[in-house]
Amino acid sequence: MSLLTIFLSSLYPRRLSCDLCGRDARLDTQGPGAYLCPDCLGKLQRAEQEIPPDGLDGLYAGLLYNDAAAILIRRFKYHHGQYLAQTLACFLPEIPAVDCIVPVPLHPARQKQRGYNQSLLLAGELARREGLPLEPALLIRRRDTANQASLSADERPGNVQGAFRAHGQVRGRRILLVDDVVTTGATLCACAEALREKGAAGVWAATVCSAHKW
Ligand SMILES: [Zn+2]
Whether pTM exceeds 0.85: yes
Task: Tell me the CA–centroid distance for residue 200 and ligand 1, in Å.
Answer: 41
Q: Tell me the CA–centroid distance for residue 210 and ligand 1, in Å.
A: 21
Task: Show Cβ contacts of residue 205 under 8 Å, excluding neighbours closer than 6 positions.
Answer: 52, 56, 58, 59, 60, 176, 177, 178, 179, 182, 185, 188, 192
Mean pLDDT within 112-133: 96
Kindly give the distance from the C-alpha atom of residue 43 to the centroid of ligand 1, in angstroms, as a whole number: 9
Q: How far is the CA of 121 from the centre of ligand 1 (A)?
A: 22
Tell me, what's the pLDDT at 117? 96
Contacts of 93 (CB under 8 A, 6+ apart): 60, 61, 62, 206
3-state secondary structure the chain: CCHHHHHHHHHCCHHHECCCCCCECCCCCCCCCCCCCHHHHCCCCECCCCCCCCCCCEEEEEEECCHHHHHHHHHHHHCCCHHHHHHHHCCCCCCCCCCEEEECCCCHHHHHHHCCCHHHHHHHHHHHHHCCCECHHHEEECCCCCCHHHCCCCCHHHHHCCCEEECCCCCCCEEEEEEEEECCCHHHHHHHHHHHHCCCCEEEEEEEEECCCC
Quote the pLDDT of residue 150.
Answer: 83
From the CA of 115, how far away is ligand 1's center (Å)? 27
- What pLDDT is recorded for position 8? 56
Residue type, 177: L
The rounded Å distance from CA 36 to ligand 1 centre is: 5
Give me the long-range contacts of 32-35 (CB less than 8 A, separation at least 24): 32/90, 32/91, 33/86, 33/90, 34/86, 34/87, 34/88, 34/90, 34/91, 35/86, 35/87
pLDDT tens across 64-92, in order?
Answer: 999 999 999 999 999 999 999 999 999 99
Residue 62 confidence (pLDDT): 96
Say how many Å lie between the CA of residue 48 and the centre of ligand 1. 24
Average pLDDT score, the chain? 89
Place 42 in a pLDDT band, splitting at 50, 70 and 90.
Answer: very high
For residue 213, pLDDT beyond 50: yes
Distance 26 CA to ligand 1 centre (A): 10
Q: Domains of the chain by range and CATH?
A: 10-43 (no CATH), 46-145+156-210 (3.40.50)
Residues near ion ligand 1 (CB < 5 Å) are 18, 20-21, 37, 40
What pLDDT, in 10s, does the model give residues 88-104?
999 999 999 999 999 99
pLDDT at 138 over 50: yes
Measured in angstroms, how far is the CA atom of residue 5 from the centroid of ligand 1? 19
Give distance in angstroms: CA of 123 to centre of ligand 1.
Answer: 25
